Amino acid sequence: MARLKFLIKSLFLASITFVIALPTTTAAMEVRVAINKSYVIELDKPASTISVANPEIADVTVTSPTVVLIIGKAIGATTVNISDEIGLSSYDVLVSPSIDNKVTVNLGSDAVKTLQCQPRCVRVGNPGLDSSPQKGGSKGAAPALTGLAKK
């Protein structure tokens, strides 16, 4: 009987030691970044592996073993996972449109135009939302909007 109690205690202590020694995973942290902007993550330990679930939404640049930049590429959501010797960190990345000097005009249920105004307003695409090519103007650029809307 004493031997059985000793065996049970030993197994219990061994299982606790095993659980404590496992790498830890923290809850996913939320990161918000605009298109063509970056978010800096400073790590406590050097990263060993970095992955992006959807590289069309966000990209990752490693500037040093402990500094990682998340760069917004298109509107949407993805996950960035960073592992090190301690465990895994997960980041829920939400990429939104950049609003620097931009105006969005809603023309109805299916028509949205985004204008970048610096120094004059020029139509720009809505990455992740626009599925139709821009009309008019030179290839790759929309014509500048001038004047006021006529009634």
- What would you report as the CA-atom Rg of the chain, rounded to the nearest whole angstrom? 25
Residue 71: CATH number of its domain = 2.60.40.1080
CA atoms within 13 A on the CB side of 63: 11
Of the pLDDT bands very low, low, confident and very high (cuts 50, 70, 90), residue 145 is very low
Give the Cα separation of 88 and 138 in Å (integer): 48
Give the Cα separation of 88 and 137 in Å (integer): 49
Which structural domain, as residue segments, surrounds residue 70? Answer: 23-96
Whole-number pLDDT of residue 107? 80
Q: Is the pLDDT of residue 57 over 80?
A: yes
Does this model's pTM top 0.75? My answer is no
Q: Is the pLDDT of residue 149 over 50?
A: no
Could you tell me the CA-to-CA distances from 88 to 26, 28, 141, 150 in Å, in that order?
A: 7, 10, 43, 58
Give the list of residues 6+ apart from residue 63 with CB closer than 8 angstroms, or none: 69
Distance from chain centroid for Cα 50? 13
| Tokens at 55, concatenated | 């590289």
Tens of pLDDT, residues 19-54 = 444 455 557 899 999 988 999 999 999 999 999 999
Same domain, 28 and 87: yes
> Considering the domain boundaries, does residue 8 fall inside one?
no
Whole-number percent of the chain with pLDDT over 90: 37
Whole-number pLDDT of residue 136? 42
Tens of pLDDT, residues 65-76 = 999 999 999 989
Same domain, 29 and 65: yes
Give the Cα separation of 103 and 119 in Å (integer): 13
In whole numbers, what is the pLDDT of the chain averaged over residues?
A: 75
Q: Is the pLDDT of residue 102 over 80?
A: no
